[in-house]
Structure formats: C-alpha cells, structure tokens
Amino acid sequence: MGEGSVKKLADIRRSAMAAVAATMLLAGCATRDTGAADVWDPLEGPNRFIFAINQTVDMIAIRPVSVLYREVVPKPAQRSVHNAVQNLGEPVTALNDAVQGDGNQAMTSMARFLVNTTLGVAGLFDVATSFGLKKSDNDAGQTIGYYAGVQPENGGFYLMLPLIGPSNARDAVGLVADSAVDPFGIAIYSLASSSAYWIYAGTRYGTTVIDTRVRTMTALDDLQRNSVDYYAALRSAYTQRRAEQIRQRRDRTSPQAELERRDNLALVR
Amino acid sequence: MLARRRNMLHLAAGAAAVVVAPRLAAADLDPAAQLIQRTAGQVIELIKTKTGAARESGILQVLEADFDLSYMGRSALGVHWNQATPEQRERFLKAAASAEAHAYAERFGQYGGQTLTLGRVTSRGGSSFVESKLNQSDGEPISITWEVRNEGQGPRIVDVKIEGVSMVMTRRSDFNSYIQNHGGKVESLIGELESRAKR
C-alpha cells in the first residue's frame, strides 16, 4: 500500500466519523435534545471552585439568615420587601421591554412603577397587579437572547459568579448592562456621593439575595437532595429556565404563537 | 329593535357554544389530559386522607401506575444507555426508579391546598404535552407541562417541566456529569444510586 492510499483511507475514515457525528447531532435534535444536558462550560474547573465557595458562604451565612427571615418576619412584611425590591427594578424592566420592541409591555411596566411608587407607598404594596397591570420580569440577558440568532439554550460559556450564582456570558453582560442603566444608581451616584451609591447598591443586593433565597429554597433543596452532581444539575436547570424565558419573549412575535394565543382567548371568551 | 338585539345575542351565544363545546369535549376526551387530571386527583386525595408511611406508599403506587419510570430512566441515562450491559441496565432502572419515586413522593408531600388548572394539549414527536397551572394561595401560578407517551401500556407520564425546567433533562445532565467525573463508567453511577436507595 502506498502512502497516498493510506492517506485516502484516513480521509475516508475521517469523513465517515464526521458523518456519524452529524447523524448523532441530528438524532439528538430528533429526541428534542435542546442542548441543556450538555451546557458549554469551558471554565468548569474555576466555576466549580467558585461554586464551592458560594456553597460554603450559603451554608454558613445566606441560608441560615434566609431561614430566620422566613420564620421570624411576618409574611405581609416579607411580601412588602419583595414588592419594594421588584419595584426598584421596574424602570430597567420597562427599558428592556421597549428595546425588545414590546411597547405595550414597556408602558405597562412604567405604569406599574408609577402606580406602585405612589399608591403602593414607595413600592411596598403591589397595587398595580390588582389593576390588571401585568408584571414583565424582563432583563438585559433576555434582551441579548431575544436578538441573538441562536437557540436560547446557547448563552455562551457557562459562568459561576461569586456571591451571585449561576450565569453565562450572555446573562453576565446583561447584569452589567442592567446595573449601568439603573436610574436610581445613576441619580444617587451623581447627586450624592460614590459611598452613598455603594450603600444603596449593597443594601439592594443584600435584600435581593435574602428575598430570592427564600423564594428558591424549596426548589434548590429539592435539586440538591435529588442529584448526584448538584453543580451539573443546577447548570442544566438554570440554562433551561433562562431559555424558557427567552423563548417566551420570542414567541410573542412569532405568528404561530400569536394564533395560539388567539385560540386561547377565544376559549376564555 | 329589542327583539332583534336579543336574537343577535342568542346567535352570538349559540356561536360561542359551538366554538367552545367541541374544544372542551376534545379536552375532556384527550387521554393525556385525562391521565393528568386523574393523577392529580389521586395525589390530592392521598395527601388529604393519609399521612406518614401510608401516604408515601400510596404515592408510590400512583407513580408506578401513571409514570413510565423505566422510560424516564432510559432517557436520563442518554448515550450511556448503549454502553451499559443488560445486567447494568436492569440495576440502573431499579435504582433510578426508586430514587425518582422518592423524589416525587417528597415533592407531592409539600402540597398545601394548591389547585391544578389544565390548559392546552399539543402533540409533538409521539408525545402529548399537557400544559397546566399550579395556582398558589400566595404568589404567581407555577406553569407545569406534563409529557405523556404511550409505549404500549396506555398513556404514561414521562417528563414533568416546571417553569420550563425538564426533570428528565436535568437528571440527564446530572448523571452524565457524574459519569464523566468518575472515569466514564456507568457502574460508578449505578453504585451511587444503589447506595442512596439504601439510605
């Protein structure tokens, strides 16, 4: 056998392997494998290291404080804290609604902010929801995902952020963008001082952490108890959850989803 | 004038009835939606009437009857299923089913008077997807999608998606990563699941 035919054989083998790989990919699609089982995680080593630190901080501080908060603080007060934190995020939500071309929801989010800040006493009471003004829960990570022409499961490389938790390239950029356009942060920074800004940011972050931890406790405990590799299970669940949010944003503008929504409306009427 | 308006109303009501009725009937008859309704009903009844070990064993019975635990196990193992020997597959399915049953018994046990409203049923790739909302007394309703398949034993639940997070997909990622971090051997995962079942 000459050198040429060996090379040809190797070529054939290589293309055969490529074909097998392509078939496997297609087969993966056919079994509606959305890719969430294999999240792109090139920084897995460092990510797991930060995850271990986060877990420790959670175990010795965040979780016990959250449990105490959940058990000691009266439920209506907890609800008001949640409402107030959410209300502070409403202008940025409205901005993201608008950038995604959802003018209606942008107006609704802004109206929510105005109603809850005034009638709802600085956001402590969510009066807007009882007026039928629907909450949007939008953020810049979703805006990037909305415009990125990729599957919403693909948010770039996975990233475990210190003290914040699961994220990815897309959502981390989103976080930075959202905090950069936060009108309260900008106002405090320019009208008062940078130390006032850090007090504001720190308080808001701390409150959000405890409020979120209480709300996710059941789900996270379940995930941790029933997984053999909690890091991987959380990575998958986070990716799927974010993808679902982005998919809902995209479905809003797809004609088929519009038809289905009309069907549902017809049912209600 | 008035009579005419009333006629119009009748006409409108009639049209609405025609539009709504076949849809509702279809939803009532859909075997997938029926299965979810029956399962939810049974679980709620169990939680209301039984406690402790009796409740857990009751929930286990419902799970074994209405969930396709072996299908769930197979899809959770993903590509590693093909590498496993028949003996390993059997042991894996047994351990995974017991872990899954325990997890669901625990989840259902947290039930606190919520109601389940069934929504649209869609079909895709041989599965029916039953959308539903779990209405909570405080806070937003949680959206749950049930995937139902008929693998020859009548319709069974093969996956539950909570707010877009598929339990089977999460499990697959979990198992896959565990196997990769333990020398790529299915045996390590089976051993871990078996030792957890004993605990």
Distances (CA, A) of B196 to A148, B97, B177: 42, 12, 18
Write down the mean pLDDT value for chain A. Answer: 85
Q: Between chains, do A32 and B124 touch, taking CB under 8 Å as contact? A: yes
Does residue A208 surpass a pLDDT of 90?
yes
Q: Give the number of beta-carbon pairs within 8 Å between A and B.
A: 86
Residue B177, pLDDT score: 94
Residue B50, pLDDT score: 81
| R_g (Cα) of chain A, nearest Å | 23
List of chain A residues whose C-beta atoms are within 8 Å of the C-beta of residue B23 = 267
Q: Between chains, do B78 and A37 touch, taking CB under 8 Å as contact? A: yes
Does residue A126 surpass a pLDDT of 80?
yes
Backbone angles phi, psi at A142, to 5 degrees: -70, -35
Strand order of the β-sheet with B142-150 is B115-124, B127-135, B142-150, B155-162, B165-166
Residue B13, pLDDT score: 44
Residue B187, pLDDT score: 93
For range A132-136, the mean pLDDT: 92
For A164, residues 6+ apart whose C-beta sits below 8 A from its C-beta are A175
Lowest-pLDDT range, A16-30, A67-81, B144-158?
A16-30
Lowest-pLDDT range, A132-141, A202-211, A260-269, B58-67?
A260-269
Residue A124, pLDDT score: 96
> Does B20 contact A at CB distance below 8 Å?
yes
- Secondary-structure percent of chain B, ordered helix, strand, coil, rounded to 5: 65, 20, 15
Nearest CB among A229, A243, A260 relative to B181 is that of A229
Does residue A235 surpass a pLDDT of 50?
yes
Residue B155 and residue B162 in contact, taking contact as beta carbons nearer than 8 Å: no
Residue A254, pLDDT score: 67
Residue A256, pLDDT score: 62
Higher local confidence (pLDDT), A74 or A15: A74
Distance in Å, alpha carbon of B1 to nearest chain A alpha carbon: 25
Residue A183 and residue A91 in contact, taking contact as beta carbons nearer than 8 Å: yes
Nearest CB among A32, A243, A260 relative to B164 is that of A243
The token pair at B149 is 């398949």
- Among chain B residues, CA nearest to A38: B173
Residue A259, pLDDT score: 56
For range A259-265, the mean pLDDT: 51
Residue B145, pLDDT score: 95
Distance in Å, alpha carbon of A183 to nearest chain B alpha carbon: 27
List of chain A residues whose C-beta atoms are within 8 Å of the C-beta of residue B109 = none
List of chain A residues whose C-beta atoms are within 8 Å of the C-beta of residue B170 = 36, 223, 227, 233, 236-237, 240
Residue B105, pLDDT score: 77
Residue A269, pLDDT score: 31
Higher local confidence (pLDDT), B7 or A260: A260
Residue B162 and residue B144 in contact, taking contact as beta carbons nearer than 8 Å: yes
Q: Between chains, do B107 and A260 touch, taking CB under 8 Å as contact? A: no
Alpha-carbon distance B150 to B157, whole Å?
Answer: 9
Residue A255, pLDDT score: 60
Distance in Å, alpha carbon of A226 to nearest chain B alpha carbon: 6
pLDDT in tens, B13-29: 444 333 333 344 444 56
List of chain B residues whose C-beta atoms are within 8 Å of the C-beta of residue A244 = 163-165
Q: What is the largest CA-CA distance in chain A?
A: 87
Q: What is the pLDDT along chain B (199 residues), one digit of tens a residue?
A: 444 444 444 444 444 333 333 344 444 568 899 999 999 888 888 888 887 778 778 888 888 899 998 889 899 998 899 889 999 999 999 888 888 777 877 777 777 778 889 999 999 888 999 999 988 877 778 899 999 998 888 899 999 999 999 999 999 999 999 999 999 889 999 999 998 877 7
For range A84-93, the mean pLDDT: 96
Distance in Å, alpha carbon of A201 to nearest chain B alpha carbon: 26
The token pair at A188 is 């405090």
Alpha-carbon distance A9 to B135, whole Å?
Answer: 62
Name the residue among B174, B196, B133, B157 with its Cα closest to residue B34: B157
Distance in Å, alpha carbon of B134 to nearest chain A alpha carbon: 15
